[in-house]
């Protein structure tokens, strides 16, 4: 089995993929490819990201989650981690080595993603944004936009040729709500949900209406501008903790994919399994075979330093 972890500022999402052997047609008269693939998500969990927890505290938590799902830690053959919380990286590495007896693969410089990055400085792009983009292009094609509702809400754009173009970052709805509650003396914290009516008849209802419809307006306003850039046939997919809440009310979001990041981690693991990680991302096969007239502009590796001149 394959264990994938997406470590965010607020939550950490874990997933376990089961291994399935599928024979592939032989190439050029060679033997069939019987290499196993991790294609079936058998368990997933969302837990709080706590930077102060120790290796043993995280280890006990993960092993208990496995026990509740009737899974054996010894069956884990690989682990891949996407993290935007650097202080936790060494802790998670220790958890993988001590409790799963496995060296984890971090999505970091040197890992093959299969996606060229057009960011001015590729090292600035969060690992989770690249993971989402890889999964979205594989599942929905391009051009596409991924809206990830996390601590921050990110909008990531992928071209028709599978290039990561960049995107938009704005405060998440939770951050917006916290700022409102902390700056006002009499407004209570409210449950984040879609209100019954846009016109609130109570303080709680008014707050829920403002948070929900105000944030929905922000999301659709940004998507409208992005779609003008990328074209009206662009696929828009939402993921993240609040994707179901906001995504289902959007005019432009057509897909809500709760497991998009986990799928992206699985895809990147398979692209790196059995080979030494490359120093830069390889362009998609179709792009490599294209004629010189249709080659994209020079791209930069992700997430590493720009090439020296």
Enumerate the active-site residues: 128
Asked, as a colleague might, if the bond just before 26 is cis with ω within 30 of 0, I would say: no
**CA 147 and chain centroid, separation:** 10
- For residue 120, what are the β-bridge partners? none
Largest CA distance in the chain: 74
Residue 292 CA to residue 209 CA, distance in Å, equals 53
Q: For 288, which DSSP code?
A: H
Tell me the CA distances in angstroms from 125 to 101, 119, 153, one per residue in order. Answer: 30, 8, 14
Residue 235 CA to residue 144 CA, distance in Å, equals 4
Pure H helices in the chain:
55-68, 89-99, 127-140, 173-183, 203-230, 243-247, 260-272, 285-288
Contacts of 270 (CB under 8 A, 6+ apart): 37, 38
231 dihedral zone (left: phi>0; alpha: psi -120 to 50; beta): left
């Amino acid at each position: 089995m394959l264990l994938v972890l997406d470590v965010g500022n607020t939550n950490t999402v874990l997933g376990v993929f089961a291994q399935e052997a599928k024979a592939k047609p032989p190439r050029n008269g060679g033997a069939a490819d019987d290499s196993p693939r991790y294609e079936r998500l058998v368990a997933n969990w969302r837990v709080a990201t706590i930077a102060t927890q120790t290796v043993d505290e995280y280890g006990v938590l993960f092993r208990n989650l496995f026990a509740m799902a009737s899974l054996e830690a010894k069956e884990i053959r690989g682990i891949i981690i996407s993290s935007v919380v650097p202080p936790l990286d060494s802790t998670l590495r220790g958890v993988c080595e001590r409790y799963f007896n496995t060296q984890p693969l971090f999505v970091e410089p040197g890992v093959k993603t299969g996606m060229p990055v057009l960011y001015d400085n590729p090292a600035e792009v969060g690992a989770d944004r690249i993971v989402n983009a890889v999964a979205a292009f594989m599942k929905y094609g391009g051009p596409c936009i991924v809206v990830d509702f996390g601590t921050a809400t990110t909008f990531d754009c992928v071209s028709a040729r599978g290039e990561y173009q960049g995107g938009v970052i704005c405060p998440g709805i939770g951050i917006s709500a916290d700022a409102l509650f902390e700056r006002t003396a009499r407004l209570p914290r409210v449950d984040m949900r879609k209100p019954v009516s846009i016109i609130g008849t109570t303080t709680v209802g008014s707050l829920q209406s403002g948070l929900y419809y105000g944030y929905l307006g922000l999301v659709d306003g940004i998507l409208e501008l992005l779609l003008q850039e990328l074209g009206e046939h662009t696929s828009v997919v939402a993921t993240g903790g609040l994707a179901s809440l906001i995504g289902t009310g959007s005019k432009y979001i057509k897909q809500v994919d709760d497991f998009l990041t986990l799928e992206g981690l699985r895809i990147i693991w398979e692209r790196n399994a059995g080979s030494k990680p490359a120093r830069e991302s390889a362009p998609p096969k179709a792009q490599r075979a294209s004629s010189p007239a249709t080659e994209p502009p020079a791209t930069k590796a992700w997430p590493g330093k720009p090439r020296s001149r």
